[in-house]
Amino acid sequence: MRRKLAAGNWKMNGLMEDLEQVRSICVAHTDPAVDLLICPPVTLVSGAVKVAQGHALQIGGQDCHALGAGAHTGDISASMLRDAGATAVILGHSERRADHDESSDDVRAKARAAHAAGLMAVICVGESLTQREAANTLDIIGGQLSSSVPDTATGENTVIAYEPCWAIGTGLTASPDQIGEVHDFIRARLERRFGAGVGRSVRLLYGGSVKPDNAALIFGVSNVDGALVGGASLKQADFTPIINALEGSIHI
């Protein structure tokens, strides 16, 4: 039985005053059957960890370096995130792949570092609109999966987020059929590579314009264990209805 997971990706948004939203999200979340994760910018990680104390909310980073320490100005290591109280890290988000030229090999090295530091890696995969229109979606996802996910993956330390690039921040969402096709494909690939035990225990999140009004439809799709939510995770008033829709979803 996979636990449901609602994850918020705050991207480059949030000042100290926004820790108040973290507090409100904690207070509004009462169902112990749903895991909750917020990944604020790194400046807010330790503050968010303090706010989350005593609540069922995990705090994560949005990226980490593949190495543990060294001369890498501006970078953050997995063990630094862990030291600040984070328990997870998003890796290989399409914005990192695009803005920082991150390859799937880079993502795999980072995921290995995250695992070694005791962090759960939320590894993102997703096709561009051009790739989808050329009917290459499953090839792209298959390639990203095999190169980005390290051999150290287990159901506890790894989550896969399927985020079609064309649906991120655009208000466009993949249809239930499109989501189901990719999530079933990812599940089959994980089972083939890691065996049924691990392959069936890794949670699969959908991400890309998940909002209060489309969440229930998305959570009804097979092999959707939750969501990675960007814009709608910034405010408690938007995020809580999505978490509630996940609590109420029934296919799992």
The question of whether 93 is a catalytic residue gets the answer yes
Q: How far is CA 50 from the centre of its chain?
A: 21
Report the alpha-carbon angle 66-207-120, nearest 5. Answer: 35
The answer to whether 123 touches 100, Cβ cutoff 8 Å, is no
Torsion sign over Cα 238, 93, 41, 203:
positive
Give the number of residues in contact with ligand PGA, rule: CB under 6 A.
Answer: 13
Among 209, 223, 236, 249, binds ligand PGA (CB under 6 A): 209
The first and second tokens of residue 145, run together, are 């999966």
Residues 84 and 91: their CA atoms lie apart, in Å, by 18
Cα–Cα distance between 97 and 115 in angstroms, integer?
20
Question: Chain-centre distance of CA 6, in angstroms?
Answer: 9
CB closer to ligand PGA out of 44 and 79: 44
Q: Which stretch binds ligand PGA (CB under 6 A): 14-22, 76-84, 100-108, 162-170?
A: 162-170
Please say if 163 is a catalytic residue: yes
Count how many Cα atoms sit within 13 Å of the Cα of residue 201 in the half-sphere of its side chain: 11
Kindly tell me which residue out of 14, 180, 226, 230 binds ligand PGA, with binding defined by CB under 6 A: 230
Q: How far is the CB of 172 from ligand PGA (least distance, A)?
A: 9
What is the smallest separation between the CB atom of 178 and ligand PGA, expressed in angstroms?
15
Q: If binding is defined by CB under 6 A, does position 123 make contact with ligand PGA? A: no
With binding defined as CB under 6 A, does residue 223 bind ligand PGA? Answer: no
Q: Decide whether 14 or 199 has the Cβ nearer to ligand PGA.
A: 14
Closest to ligand PGA by CB, 209 or 223? 209
Any contact of residue 231 with ligand PGA (CB under 6 A)?
yes
Alpha-carbon span 50 to 37, nearest angstrom = 14
- Residues within the interface to ligand PGA (CB under 6 A): 9, 163, 168-169, 207-210, 228-232
Q: Known catalytic residues?
A: 93, 163
